[in-house]
Amino acid sequence: MTINQAFTILSKAGGVRAARIITENIKNLSRFRVWKMARMLRRDVPVAKIVGQKWFYGLQFFTDKYTLDPRPDTETLVAAVVSDFGAQSEPISILDLGTGTGCIIISLMKNVCATNCVALDVSRRALKITRKNVKRYGLESWARLIRGSFYNPKLKFKNKFDVIVSNPPYIARGDMRVDSGAMHDPELALYAPDDGYGAYLAIAKNAREWIRKGGRIYLEIGIDMGRRVREIFENMGWTFVRSDYDLANVERVLVFEYLK
C-alpha cells in the first residue's frame, strides 16, 4: 500500500493529524496493518498508543498500553521544578513517584543539574518502558529505577531527596469526565481510592520520610482538587509554597516544602 493510500484511509478513520503522525512514524504500511490502525482510531485509541511514542517537553518518549501517555498538562509540573532549580549549578536529588514512561524525571534531568535520581513505579511492565526511555537519552548512570509503591509506608531509600515529583492517579471511580482516550491508559495510573484523593493521602504521609528538611514536593492535581489536596498536605505538616497553572489557566501543580 502506498503512503497516499494509507493516509487517505487513516484520515477518514481518525483525521488528518492522526494520519500524518502515523504515516511519518510507521514504516510498514501493509494493507492489513493500515486497516488495523484505522479500526483502532475508530475506537478512539490515542495515536501515541498506535505509534508507541509521544512528545513531551521537547523530547520523544516510548509509551505503550502499560503506561500513561505523557500529556501537555504535565509539562506544567516539569516547568515548575525547572523554574525553581534550572539556573542552579549545585546538583539536586530527585524522586519521581509513579514514574510511568519516566517522562517527568528524564525531562528534569535534561533541564536541571541533578544527581542521585530515582524513578519509582509499582508496575514492572511500566518500568520496562522507563528503562527504554532512560537508555534512549543516555541517563543509565544517573537514574535508578525501583519497583515499589508510594502507598507502602515501609518503603525506604538510601538517601533523602531534595525534590519529589509526582503525577499520581487522581480520578475517582465512576467519574464520567474521563475522556475516551484515557480508557486505553492503565487503570493503575488513573484511578485512586477515597474519591480520587487516596494517592495524595499516602504521599503526604509517607513522603515525609523520603525528603530532606527544606526539600520540596511538586504534585500534579486534577481540576478543582487544589483546596482538598492543600488541606491534606498541611495537615501532615507540609508548608504550602504556591500553585502553578497550566496553559488553560487551570490550577495544575501544587508545591509544598517540608521544614520539620
pLDDT of residue 177 exceeding 90, the answer is no
Instruction: Tell me the average pLDDT across 123-152.
Output: 96
State percent of the chain over pLDDT 70: 98
pLDDT of residue 82 exceeding 80, the answer is yes
Report d(CA 1, CA 181) in Å as an integer: 28
Question: By the 8 A CB rule, do 144 and 119 touch?
Answer: yes
pTM, entire model: 0.94
Instruction: Tell me the average pLDDT across 8-24.
Output: 93
Instruction: Tell me the average pLDDT across 175-203.
Output: 86
* Residue 1 pLDDT grade (very low, low, confident, very high; cuts 50, 70, 90): confident
The pLDDT of residue 176 is 63
Say which residue the cell 494517592 belongs to: 199
Q: Per DSSP, what are the bridge partners of residue 242?
A: 255
State percent of the chain over pLDDT 90: 87
Centre a 10 Å sphere on the Cβ of residue 173 and count the other Cβ atoms it contains: 11
The pLDDT of residue 175 is 76
